[in-house]
């Protein structure tokens, strides 16, 4: 073998073996027994740390977080949770917040420092902000291109039918550089599932892009909307290119009904995103995966108008998924970990993900014996590598 650029020695892999990982041109070119004679320009000793693929932050809002800005106390809805009212509160908060690019950078630094090397962010596109937020986030994405790969979803936060001009804006957003088209509670927000999905899938079909829809509706209304999204996905042969974020309704069903829904979701090729939210029903992760459905995760809101929580740590998110799902065995803990790594990579259709030859050299070192321990202990003191370059250490992003 010719001389490789960087040899990472003494990496503990998930299977417990200690290997040397060779990287050239930002990709993994060799995984060999540690100490095997390999000619490398640079040696980096990982000292037996557990090495895992970079985390996939599959659902976040870079435009609306106040992380790193002044603390904005949470304002509760006047009469129970109301998406319309929350959107209005958000507009008030945004008017007094620091510039969006600054807040987006704060949030990106937080996520990268914790080990995320891939991200999908929803960005508000509606009649009030137009394409301004997207323009800002697109520019920040460019600044961070060597640190993290980011997919952007044109997100109709104020509805599609309720906010005049939004169908056209979603179309323009994709032309401008957004990667996916989003949606929001077609039934409860826009009161018309058919017309809402006509726009979402219409834009997706026109531009050949994927779909990721926010769906908070519970019970039978949520299930009905999921069935409609699955039907559209199959009709347009878009399996693998459609995600439903939250899908709380799946957590309200009987086991039998959930199994039927899971089979439909898996057969349709629709992925489900859950952040294992606090006091809320959420999708049955193990049941969905058993049916063959892809489940991924994200921080969703971090210090924004919707809730004050969030730390941008997808390993911590795996812990929350495991905790809320009642996962105790090693296999179950590995499942929670898979949701924030391989599951995310499948949902985001990431090419060349993982610790394997030919994959991008994006990985994180963890101070843990193995993956199950990492999920419950959520160890800090990580090193984050993107394309084989150190981009963050001990919670701090290293600017290069
Ligand atoms: Zn969201």
114 CA to middle of ligand 1, Å? 20
Residue 384, beta-bridge partner list: 364, 392
Question: Model's pTM, two decimal places?
Answer: 0.97
365 CA to middle of ligand 1, Å? 28
273 CA to middle of ligand 1, Å? 10
Q: What is the spatial distance between Cα 150 and Cα 141, in angstroms, rounded to a whole number? A: 7
- pLDDT on residue 400: 53
347 CA to middle of ligand 1, Å? 16
**Contact between residue 131 and residue 176 where contact means Cβ atoms under 8 Å apart:** yes
- pLDDT on residue 278: 86
374 CA to middle of ligand 1, Å? 26
179 CA to middle of ligand 1, Å? 16
For 398, left (φ over 0), alpha (ψ -120 to 50), or beta?
A: beta
**Residue 376, φ and ψ in degrees, nearest 5:** -85, -30
Domains, the chain, in order of start with CATH, read 4-53+353-395 (2.30.40.10), 55-347 (3.20.20.140)
In sequence order, what are the residues at sequence separation of 6 or more whose Cβ sits closer than 8 angstroms to the Cβ of residue 390? 383, 384, 398
**Contact between residue 217 and residue 185 where contact means Cβ atoms under 8 Å apart:** yes
Neighbours of ion ligand 1 (CB under 5 A): 300
Would you state the torsion angle of the CA atoms of residues 57, 59, 65, 67, taken in this order, to the nearest 10 degrees?
-20
301 CA to middle of ligand 1, Å? 6
381 CA to middle of ligand 1, Å? 28
> pLDDT per position in the chain (400 positions), as tens?
579 999 999 999 999 999 999 999 999 999 999 988 999 999 999 999 999 999 999 999 999 999 999 899 999 999 988 888 988 899 899 889 999 999 999 999 999 999 999 999 999 999 889 999 999 999 999 999 999 999 999 999 999 999 999 999 999 999 999 999 999 999 999 999 999 999 999 999 999 999 999 999 999 999 999 999 999 999 999 999 999 999 999 999 999 999 999 999 999 999 999 999 988 899 999 999 999 999 999 999 999 999 999 999 999 999 999 999 999 999 999 999 999 999 999 999 999 999 999 999 999 999 999 999 999 999 999 999 999 999 999 999 997 5
């Amino acid at each position: 073998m010719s001389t490789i650029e960087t040899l990472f020695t003494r990496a503990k892999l998930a299977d417990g073996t200690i290997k040397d990982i060779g990287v050239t041109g930002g990709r993994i070119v060799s995984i060999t027994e540690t100490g095997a004679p390999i000619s490398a320009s640079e040696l980096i000793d990982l000292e037996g740390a557990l090495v895992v693929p970079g985390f996939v932050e599959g659902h976040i809002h870079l435009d609306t977080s106040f992380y790193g800005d002044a603390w904005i106390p949470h304002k509760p809805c006047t009469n129970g949770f109301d998406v319309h009212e929350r959107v209005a509160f958000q507009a008030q908060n945004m008017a007094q917040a620091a510039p969006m690019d600054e807040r987006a950078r704060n949030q990106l630094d937080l996520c990268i420092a914790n080990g995320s090397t891939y991200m999908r962010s929803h960005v508000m596109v509606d009649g009030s902000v137009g394409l301004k937020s997207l323009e800002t986030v697109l520019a920040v994405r460019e600044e961070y291109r060597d640190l993290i790969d980011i997919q952007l979803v044109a997100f109709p936060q104020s509805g599609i039918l309720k906010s005049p001009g939004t169908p056209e804006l979603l179309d323009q957003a994709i032309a401008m550089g957004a990667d996916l088209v989003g949606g929001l509670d077609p039934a409860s927000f826009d009161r018309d599932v058919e017309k809402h999905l006509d726009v979402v899938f219409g834009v997706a079909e026109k531009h050949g892009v994927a779909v990721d829809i926010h769906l908070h509706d519970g019970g039978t209304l949520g299930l009905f909307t999921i069935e409609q999204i699955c039907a559209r996905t199959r009709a347009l042969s878009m399996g693998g290119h459609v995600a439903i974020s939250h899908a709380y309704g799946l957590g309200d069903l009987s086991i039998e009904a959930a199994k039927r829904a899971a089979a439909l979701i898996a057969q349709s090729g629709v992925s489900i995103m859950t952040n294992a939210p606090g006091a809320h029903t959420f999708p049955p992760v193990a049941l969905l995966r058993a049916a063959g459905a892809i489940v991924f995760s994200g921080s969703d809101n971090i210090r924004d108008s919707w809730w004050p929580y969030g730390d941008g740590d997808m390993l911590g998110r795996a812990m929350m998924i495991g905790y809320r799902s009642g996962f105790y065995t090693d296999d179950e803990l590995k499942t929670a970990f898979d949701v924030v790594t391989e599951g995310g990579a499948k949902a985001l259709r990431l090419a060349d993900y993982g610790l394997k030859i030919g994959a991008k050299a994006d990985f994180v070192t963890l101070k843990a014996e193995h993956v199950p321990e990492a999920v419950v202990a959520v160890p800090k003191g990580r090193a984050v590598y993107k394309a084989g370059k150190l981009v963050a250490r001990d919670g701090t992003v290293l600017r290069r």
